[in-house]
Structure 1
Amino acid sequence: MAAETFVFNIAAKLLGELVSPAFQEACLVWGVESDLRRLENTLSNVKAVLLDAEDQQVHNQELTVWLRQLKEVFYDAQDVLDDFECEALRKQVVEMQGSTARKVCRFFSSSNPLVFRTKMAHKVKEIRARLGEVAADRAKFHLSPRSNDRHVVRGREMSYSFVQASDVIGRDQDKDKIVEHLMDPSDGQSISVVPVVGIGGLGKTALAKLVFNDERVIEHFELKCWVCVSDEFVLKQLLVKIIKSITSVNCSYLDEEQLQMLLRNNLDGKKFLLILDDVWNEDRGKWIELRNLLMGGANGSKILVTTRSPTIASMMGTMSPYNLEGLLHQECLSLFIKWAFNEGKERQHTNLVEIGDAIVKKCKGVPLAVKSLGSLLYSKLDERDWLFVRDNEMWKLNRKEGDILLVLQLSYNQMPSYLKQCFTFLSLFPKDYEFNTLDLISYWMANGLLQSPNENQELEDIGNQYIDELYSRCFLEDYIDLGYLREFKIHDLAHELALSLAQSECLIINGQIQNISKKVWHLSYTDNTWQNENVLKCLQKSKGLRTILSTVEGVGPSTKSFVDSCLSKFRYLRFLNLSDLSFEVLPSSIGTMKHLRLLDLRHNCRIQKLPNSICKLQNLQTLNLCGCEKLEELPKDIRYLIRLRTFLLTTKQKSLLGCSNSLRILGLYNCGNLESLVETMQVHTSLRVLRIDNCGGLISLLPTLKFLTTLEALMIENCEKLDLTEMEDNQDDFPTSLRALRFIGLPQLVAIPNWIKCSVKSLQILVIQSCPNLTALPEWLVNLESLRRLTILNCPKLSALSKEKFCLPALRSFRIAECPELIRRCQPEIGEDWHKIANASEIYLDHKRIK
């Protein structure tokens, strides 16, 4: 598989920066216009043939080497251009301060302008010479210019549930047989293990989810838990996952003995079902160690194991493995049509269905291959696109039976170049990692991977479009829409593809690593690797690093030498994760990391103060201080972070200093002393997401809301003193574009605030939970014409939906739990309010699905 597949994207971004008006002006100021013009011309000529080079490299190893050389020059060129941008931002901050300019200038003091000009002129000449030397080799490859990258064209409505039975075709018989095994009491085992084995992409996990959610299984077992095991079979990690699945509590801070005791207490005497999904461990000793800890359940408890390995199935199972077979051809064709066409439209394109039939035969009954190619062809009506897939050279390659990585590769190859780079970035995360859109989009943004021809489009919206596209190509799964963010995982086969594609520049490291290539740009770690001096030594030559990321909560660098190395050696970092630090002081040299876009300091429980020098990071877009419980106050010059878009914070302050008006996402967590946000919010006229969680001192929010006219998502949780209903005289001043609203743990809430009416046309998700004094829903609730999800949990005084006609045309999901009288009124067919909710496609009463 070719590794250099998004060089075009880097070149396009570089060229865009070079021709921008702001950069052209900077060139004149610093006297490098001539050299940069020649750099632009060379870059433009090379870019024209890069798409052809990326496609042809599969047959020509020399091309791959040439593209890799170009990429190195491009990355270095990005650093040079970024130096100019940093200087321009520094000047911008100084100029915007007016009478305090002298003081600000001292704070942002930098090298002599003449020295900067000379140094940058030398760097530009060096880059131009290197690029010219590498670019000259393009003539020997006989490449053809191609000006247009592939564009994303999607129209399919997204689905956000874990698994819909209607989306799984041809597995009813398999489901019934497995359910029979799980409910069979006559196998003579105190705890039985049912193994399901099959090749990758057959749908083992989807089948296990159908079984897990089957009504017969729900009624039969007192306790159910689901754990995705994947590559690591580490006892402590598995115990944490099992307990979290049972209790919804993260117990990673406990030691192994405490976890074992907690597990026994939760399983004691209960008939349970445990799903161990995607098992790779062949060490019988490790399995027996876990199995022995699960013996405390009642007789009839079952474990369902899914695996690709017959050896593992035989080792773990107490019965013969259930071998999952491929789908029948007609079932595959039905699945393909479901993904390739809007419902019923296939009848208008019989020629395409005929070609699709031939494509499906090549998929050998593997559902993931069928869905992937169907989604690839969705909305494409040109016969040539379909013939391209049917007759692709990929099918001629020697491959193992059922190996669908090449099918996913074909889908990957048809991605636009910018999306390929975002996809390969996912290789930095372990298999089964739980992503959310807010974090991932910030990660992509930090490395400049989000781009759009529309300059007015918000970066966060571009990132969401990218995620939707990856999902529509079947690369993502377990999609859950929470309104203000979405959670998902990358399919394990897609993860394998990402690893194979990104191995030249993305690397997950561990303590055993002996060598790290200087061409690696992005690093992540999953254990206490940074305590290993050998790793730090290996990193010394990787001075061009862009990303250092931790992917496991609770695992952070515990040595000061690591932090010092980051700040002194890796000067071009865009993304630095220093979460879970174990010391009190962040070095003031953090202010020299001028290229930094994302700084993650979450869960640094000992840090009391941040150096004011952190405010020199004008390029910073994301700052995460969530869980910094001892942080006394923010630096006084925090307003100088003029590009900050996402700010997550825990602090002891009573009020917050105003930040830049560039802020789009603000999260306040466990700020117990916080009393007011009024002064803070007056400048945040572009804020789109506001989350306030466990801020017990906060009394009022309404004056603040009047400034947040662009707010799209508001989440307020566990604020016991907060009153949301006062000062509602002039409702015209409140946000009019809210799409998601969550009120959780608000004892002062006795009625739904009337100011929500301002968003009557836009509100899509409304969640009300643990509001013990809420007595009624407003009559205007029936006017929420866009509401598609309504959830009401643990509001015992709420006794009815509405006196008026209650028919929400867009409502899809309706959930009520722990509201006794309301539950009674919503009983199917017989409840007084049933007719008001019956049009919803998904209805849950007390966590039991009714429809």
Structure 2
Amino acid sequence: MAVETFVFNIAGKLLGELVSPAFQEACLVWGVESDLRRLEKTLSNVEAVLLDAEEQQFHNQELTVWLGQLKEVFYDAQDVLDEFECEALRRQVVEMQGSTTRKVRRFFSSSNPLIFRTKMAHKVKEIRARLDEVAADRSKFHLSERSDDRHVMRGREMSYSFVQPSDVIGRDQDKENIVKHLMDPSDGQSISVVPVVGIGGLGKTAVIEHFELKCWVCVSDEFVLKQLLVKIIKSITSENRSDFDEEQLQVLLRNNLDGKKFLIVLDDVWNEDRGKWIELRNLLMGGANGSKILVTTRSPTIASMMGTVSPYNLEGLLHHECLSLFIKWAFDEGKERQHTNLVEIGDAIVKKCKGVPLAVKSLGSLLYSKLDERDWLFVRDNEMWKLNRKEGDILSVLQLSYNQMPSYLKQCFSFLSLFPKDYEFNTLELIPYWLANGLLQSPNENQEPEDIGNQYVDELYSRCFLEDYIDIGYMREFKIHDLAHDLALSSAQSECLIINCQIQNISKKVWHLSYTDNTWQNENVLKCLQKSKSLRTILSVEKGVGPSTKSFVDSCLSKFSYLRVLDLRDSSFEVLPSSIGTMKHLRLLDLSNNCRIQKLPNSICKLQNLQTLDLGGCEKLEELPKDIRYLIRLRFLMVTTKQKSLPGCPNSLRFLGLSNCGNLESLVEMMQFCTSLRFLCIDNCGGLISFLPTLKFLTMLEVLAVENCEKLDLTRMEDDQDDFPTSLRALSFIGLPQLVAIPNWIKRSAKSLQGLIIKNCPNLTALPEWFVNLETLRGLKIENCPKLSSLSKEKLCLPALRYFRITECPELIRRCQPEIGEDWHKIAHASYIYLDDKRIKKADN
């Protein structure tokens, strides 16, 4: 049965906006105070019963309909309130210029105050009337008032590591058996297909996670030959060839596999069409004898259809193994002995999980740090166990964990359903999408959205919804577990949708959509979207499939005026329409990797709500718009341009990325106003000689990454170090032939620096003596620095060091050999040590 979600959360955000001091002031200015107060009162009364309504709708379809009507009004109300904010920002830009520039005033002063006041008064009255009408029905449902007392759970300390230890329990024998299948040369097949069968969450992929794989592809629900060929080729070559046609892809695949012994993993296969499988299988037959194709699936039928050997059936864990896993996730080590009553209840919970590790971990993490017996009994006796689901399906378990999430976290989690299974996330990319749609909330007004977003991801990981999780301090990398992805799809219902060329109908209730193929070449798709006038997000999640003509952009700008996110990456149109300036609600605009665009209209600078502008990879772009400093909410800016110097940017900027700016010589004009910048990434800017004079402006800088800038001297003009940043957390120096020594200004961040990467610096000869003072350094990675022959001459005792990797540094690797190397004692205390990609096993491990 369909359910409505997020209604309570949306209501809460609306109330927060209505009672904010800034909005109260706007009410007085525009004469809509009385109507908005009535709206606030009705909204407050409705919000009080929404948690109860969302829970009871599982037994009452009429409640679901009512919640859907409310959500529609709430979203429209958000758009109305947003118009007040847009007008306030527009006036702020005009006022900040004073009376010095009439031209600027004409550029931004497009609204007639009287007309705006009349129009907004009408819109507010209409929203209030609609809400009153829908809210009047709440009395017939006999709902109870409740508050949301669920907060982000206290999680274990998240480790700053590039490798996560395995939590696999009870799979050693399974791994041995599957390895035998893969290594067996006597199965009578030149290339054999080995199926592994098990229900979701049993750990099919964990069984082989320690193998050196040449190709790993998540197949999931759609078995489309061209998409699979693109994925396989990308896994083998690291190249995205989505622009190739199917014939070209087949030739390329044969060339890569011909005569080679390979292992290809097709993970999570659902396709039951034998013809489609044979079509793919025939393309994989060019390898050498002994090549293997490993298939994981939840269906015995699919396993029999695809396999050339008998399927390997992966059973559930034994009860004692499950209980051990549960205790590991529910308690800090050894604490379970102090709470035998909870362990007894936990034992009953584990029995309900029927041997599924993911279910066990999810519920264990849900109960972590909770010592009240009532919390444990709530899980043991919950009605979710009684839901009529397929045998072995653990979605009800994950649903229970999802239901206990704070309301604001649910919407962020469901947003992940816009991305395909096995998508590789990083929070630098993801958080701007959440922020653009107003999904990040914190009781601390001074907390940066990027930090809030990282906390949300940590929370989702602690609930076992994420995997392949890596905490790099300022950023997280992860994938969403395939079953958690199913749950995200279920929770998002019709609100989030992935579309393709085959789509026939799109509900008007869709607020966020993504596309994975050349959807916009299909006129039927645009016709289907006509009803979705309140669309908030258009997102591209596949490289190389952006719109190739201006017509789609024109359509978006004319039909979807309430867009918050417009992702046009990998597009190839030449002109961005000047009407982009009318998209006043827009928060994120991605034009990255457009190979043809040469100029942006200056009207783009009217987008005062814009938070993210990505122009990376626009290699023909002549210059940035001259009035870019008027984008007073811009936080994230990625740029590729032919300019020698860049115009000044707004003080709101937090992330600045400069890539392939070959003519760039100076950053002074741009940086002098970027005093709030936290992330600075400079890549392949061959003309840049030094940017150190600009660092004195960047007092809040936390992350600095410099890559492939052959003329750049990081030590030039560094004598006066008093002005350099003191709060750097991560540094990355890659491809810098001018780097002979580690710059001295880095030691000013000795008490904050957590990660340092030095790579492809052929003239680096030594680490400085002060290197021992980096007391917070937790990760150190040095690659291809052949002249670096030793670590610091002083005793290198970095107390916080956990991760240490050296690659392609022959003499240094010799000196760091376990026990016998001269520098071994300097790094032996690190938890993870890699020498030329080989993990060093220490005697005490």
- Measured against the shorter chain, the TM-score band is over 0.9
Q: Would the aligned equivalents of 2:262 and 2:292 in 1 still touch at CA under 8 Å?
A: yes
Q: Would the aligned equivalents of 1:159 and 1:479 in 2 still touch at CA under 8 Å?
A: no
Counterpart residue number, 1:215: none
Quick check: 280-289 or 307-316, which moved more?
Answer: 280-289
Quick check: 519-528 or 712-721, which moved more?
Answer: 519-528
Task: Letter of the 2:782 partner, please give it.
Answer: I
Q: How does 1:503-522 map to 2 (within 5 A)?
A: 503-522=493-512
Q: Would the aligned equivalents of 1:163 and 1:209 in 2 still touch at CA under 8 Å?
A: no
Cα distance, 1:280 vs structure 2: 2.1
Whole-angstrom CA distance in 2 between matches of 1:629 and 1:818: 33
Q: Would the aligned equivalents of 1:483 and 1:713 in 2 still touch at CA under 8 Å?
A: no
Partner of 2:722: helix, strand, or coil?
helix
Whole-angstrom CA distance in 2 between matches of 1:278 and 1:163: 24
Counterpart residue number, 1:824: 814
Whole-angstrom CA distance in 2 between matches of 1:295 and 1:515: 39
Counterpart residue number, 1:93: 93
Counterpart residue number, 2:680: 690
Counterpart residue number, 2:665: 675
- 1:495 to 1:640, Cα distance in 2 relative to 1, 3 A: same
Counterpart residue number, 1:557: 547
Choose which of 743, 767, 771 in structure 1 pairs with 2:757.
767
Whole-angstrom CA distance in 2 between matches of 1:131 and 1:347: 54
Cα distance, 1:159 vs structure 2: 5.3
Whole-angstrom CA distance in 2 between matches of 1:711 and 1:659: 16
Whole-angstrom CA distance in 2 between matches of 1:141 and 1:190: 66
Counterpart residue number, 1:733: 723
Whole-angstrom CA distance in 2 between matches of 1:165 and 1:633: 47
Counterpart residue number, 1:175: 175
Counterpart residue number, 1:336: 326
Task: Letter of the 1:139 partner, please give it.
Answer: S
Counterpart residue number, 1:591: 581
Whole-angstrom CA distance in 2 between matches of 1:830 and 1:301: 40
1:185 equivalent in alignment to 2:185: yes
Could you report, residue by residue, the CA deviation over 1:587-618 in whole angstroms, capped at 9, with x for unpaired residues? 10000000101111111111000000000000
Segments of structure 2 that go 5 or more residues without pairing to the other structure are none
Q: Would the aligned equivalents of 2:766 and 2:791 in 1 still touch at CA under 8 Å?
A: yes
- 1:22 to 1:769, Cα distance in 2 relative to 1, 3 A: same
Partner of 1:609: helix, strand, or coil?
coil
Counterpart residue number, 2:780: 790
Q: How does 1:343-492 map to 2 (within 5 A)?
A: 343-492=333-482
1:318 equivalent in alignment to 2:318: no
Instruction: Tell me the TM-score normalized by structure 1.
Output: 0.96
Q: Would the aligned equivalents of 1:149 and 1:417 in 2 still touch at CA under 8 Å?
A: no
Could you report, residue by residue, the CA deviation over 1:112-170 in whole angstroms, capped at 9, with x for unpaired residues? 21111111111111111111111111111111212334111223123577875641111
Whole-angstrom CA distance in 2 between matches of 1:255 and 1:776: 50
Counterpart residue number, 1:613: 603
Counterpart residue number, 1:546: 536
Partner of 1:240: helix, strand, or coil?
helix
- 1:836 to 1:270, Cα distance in 2 relative to 1, 3 A: farther
Task: Letter of the 2:449 partner, please give it.
Answer: L
Q: Would the aligned equivalents of 1:514 and 1:538 in 2 still touch at CA under 8 Å?
A: yes
Could you report, residue by residue, the CA deviation over 1:423-452 in whole angstroms, capped at 9, with x for unpaired residues? 111111122222210121100111111111
Cα distance, 1:204 vs structure 2: 0.6
Cα distance, 1:201 vs structure 2: 0.6
Counterpart residue number, 2:126: 126
Segments of structure 1 that go 5 or more residues without pairing to the other structure are 213-217
Cα distance, 1:313 vs structure 2: 1.6
Task: Letter of the 2:177 partner, please give it.
Answer: K
Counterpart residue number, 1:241: 231
Whole-angstrom CA distance in 2 between matches of 1:707 and 1:580: 34
Whole-angstrom CA distance in 1 between matches of 2:96 and 2:522: 45
Whole-angstrom CA distance in 2 between matches of 1:165 and 1:750: 36
Q: How does 1:128-147 map to 2 (within 5 A)?
A: 128-147=128-147
Could you report, residue by residue, the CA deviation over 1:707-736 in whole angstroms, capped at 9, with x for unpaired residues? 111111111111111110122222232111
Whole-angstrom CA distance in 2 between matches of 1:473 and 1:398: 24
Could you report, residue by residue, the CA deviation over 1:282-320 in whole angstroms, capped at 9, with x for unpaired residues? 333333333333334332222222111212222222211
Could you report, residue by residue, the CA deviation over 1:365-393 in whole angstroms, capped at 9, with x for unpaired residues? 00000011011111111111111000101
Counterpart residue number, 2:57: 57
Cα distance, 1:498 vs structure 2: 1.3
- 1:6 to 1:587, Cα distance in 2 relative to 1, 3 A: same
Counterpart residue number, 2:27: 27
Instruction: Tell me the TM-score normalized by structure 2.
Output: 0.97
1:850 equivalent in alignment to 2:840: yes
Q: Would the aligned equivalents of 1:609 and 1:633 in 2 still touch at CA under 8 Å?
A: yes
Partner of 1:275: helix, strand, or coil?
strand
1:708 equivalent in alignment to 2:710: no
Partner of 1:747: helix, strand, or coil?
coil
Partner of 1:461: helix, strand, or coil?
helix
Q: Would the aligned equivalents of 2:635 and 2:653 in 1 still touch at CA under 8 Å?
A: yes
Counterpart residue number, 2:16: 16
Whole-angstrom CA distance in 2 between matches of 1:616 and 1:599: 13
Counterpart residue number, 1:572: 562
Counterpart residue number, 1:207: 207
Partner of 1:561: helix, strand, or coil?
helix
Quick check: 153-162 or 272-281, which moved more?
Answer: 153-162
Task: Letter of the 1:170 partner, please give it.
Answer: G
Partner of 1:226: helix, strand, or coil?
strand
Choose which of 639, 642, 645 in structure 2 pairs with 1:649.
639
Whole-angstrom CA distance in 2 between matches of 1:287 and 1:765: 45
Q: Would the aligned equivalents of 1:3 and 1:502 in 2 still touch at CA under 8 Å?
A: no
- 1:620 to 1:673, Cα distance in 2 relative to 1, 3 A: same
Cα distance, 1:403 vs structure 2: 0.6
- 1:268 to 1:814, Cα distance in 2 relative to 1, 3 A: farther
Partner of 2:99: helix, strand, or coil?
helix
Whole-angstrom CA distance in 2 between matches of 1:555 and 1:720: 33
Could you report, residue by residue, the CA deviation over 1:142-201 in whole angstroms, capped at 9, with x for unpaired residues? 112123341112231235778756411111111111112222222232222221111101
Whole-angstrom CA distance in 2 between matches of 1:103 and 1:193: 70
Partner of 2:100: helix, strand, or coil?
helix
Task: Letter of the 2:319 partner, please give it.
Answer: H
Cα distance, 1:268 vs structure 2: 4.2
Counterpart residue number, 1:834: 824
Quick check: 452-461 or 164-173, which moved more?
Answer: 164-173
Could you report, residue by residue, the CA deviation over 1:493-524 in whole angstroms, capped at 9, with x for unpaired residues? 11111112212321222222222222221121
Choose which of 611, 614, 623 in structure 1 pairs with 2:613.
623
Whole-angstrom CA distance in 1 between matches of 2:467 and 2:222: 20
Partner of 2:58: helix, strand, or coil?
helix
Whole-angstrom CA distance in 2 between matches of 1:73 and 1:256: 46
- 1:166 to 1:80, Cα distance in 2 relative to 1, 3 A: closer
Quick check: 194-203 or 556-565, which moved more?
Answer: 556-565
Task: Letter of the 2:22 partner, please give it.
Answer: A
Whole-angstrom CA distance in 2 between matches of 1:23 and 1:166: 50
Partner of 1:167: helix, strand, or coil?
coil
Whole-angstrom CA distance in 1 between matches of 2:748 and 2:162: 32
Cα distance, 1:2 vs structure 2: 5.4
Cα distance, 1:550 vs structure 2: 1.5
Could you report, residue by residue, the CA deviation over 1:547-598 in whole angstroms, capped at 9, with x for unpaired residues? 1111111111234332112111111111111222222111100000001011
User: How many matched pairs?
Assistant: 841
Partner of 1:450: helix, strand, or coil?
coil
Could you report, residue by residue, the CA deviation over 1:63-113 in whole angstroms, capped at 9, with x for unpaired residues? 111111111111111111111111110100000012334222210132321
Counterpart residue number, 1:281: 271
Whole-angstrom CA distance in 1 between matches of 2:693 and 2:184: 61
- 1:677 to 1:463, Cα distance in 2 relative to 1, 3 A: same
Whole-angstrom CA distance in 1 between matches of 2:293 and 2:412: 37
Partner of 1:306: helix, strand, or coil?
strand
Q: Percent identity?
A: 88
Whole-angstrom CA distance in 1 between matches of 2:830 and 2:663: 42
Cα distance, 1:483 vs structure 2: 4.9
Counterpart residue number, 2:712: 722
